[in-house]
Every structure is written in structure tokens, then in C-alpha cells.
Amino acid sequence: MNANSGWGPVEINRSNGELGATDGGKLTINGQTFEKGLGVHSDSKVVYKLDGEYSVFKASIGLDDEIGNGGSVNFQVWADGVMLYQSGKMTGERSGRPLLKR
């Protein structure tokens, strides 16, 4: 994985906290808690090299509940140089979408 976060490090299985590692809380979107996932701040990029070993990408995306009604993001998913998905503007008020791409 090659990743950067707009504020602090990418958090594994936690929300993005402050500038320190592992300072985030549980990942929670629209009241649903996730045991696994990545917590990043806006202006982030996460790249996985999968070497063609997978045919399905499945994720839930959204702003963590800890942000409240603040903030906004636009999620994009790319594979092999092609954009597969773009969420459009999402805010803390209108967050959380399941995403399944083949």
C-alpha cells in the first residue's frame, strides 16, 4: 500500500484522529461501526498494487460520524488508469454509501 492522508497518518481500522498514529476512534458511518477499514483526512490518496489478482472491489464509503455535519469529500475509485466510481460531493449530513464495482 502506498498512501498519504491530508492530516496525520492513514489510520488502519480507526478513524483519522489528529497528527499522531493510532489516535483515531472506531470507524463509524451513519451509526454503523466497521471493524476493518482505513481512516484518512480529505485530500488523501491510497494506492494498492493488486497485480490483477482480484475481480471485485467492495467498500463502504463516507465521512466518519465523529465529523458531525461538517466537512465534505468526493471519493474516486480508479483501476488500471480508469475511473470506476466518483461519489460526487458527500457531507457529514449525507454520508455513507455502499460501493460494489466489478
Task: Write down the pLDDT at residue 5.
Answer: 85
E-strand ranges in 1-102 read: 2-4, 11-12, 27-29, 32-34, 38-39, 45-47, 57-61, 72-73, 76-79, 82-86, 90-91, 97-101
Domains, the chain, in order of start with CATH, read 2-101 (2.60.120.1060)
5-34 pLDDT, tens digit each: 888 899 999 999 888 888 999 999 888 999
Task: Write down the pLDDT at residue 82.
Answer: 86
pTM for this prediction: 0.80
Amino acid at position 43, single letter = D
Residues of the chain with pLDDT under 50: none
Task: Write down the pLDDT at residue 30.
Answer: 86
Task: Write down the pLDDT at residue 35.
Answer: 95
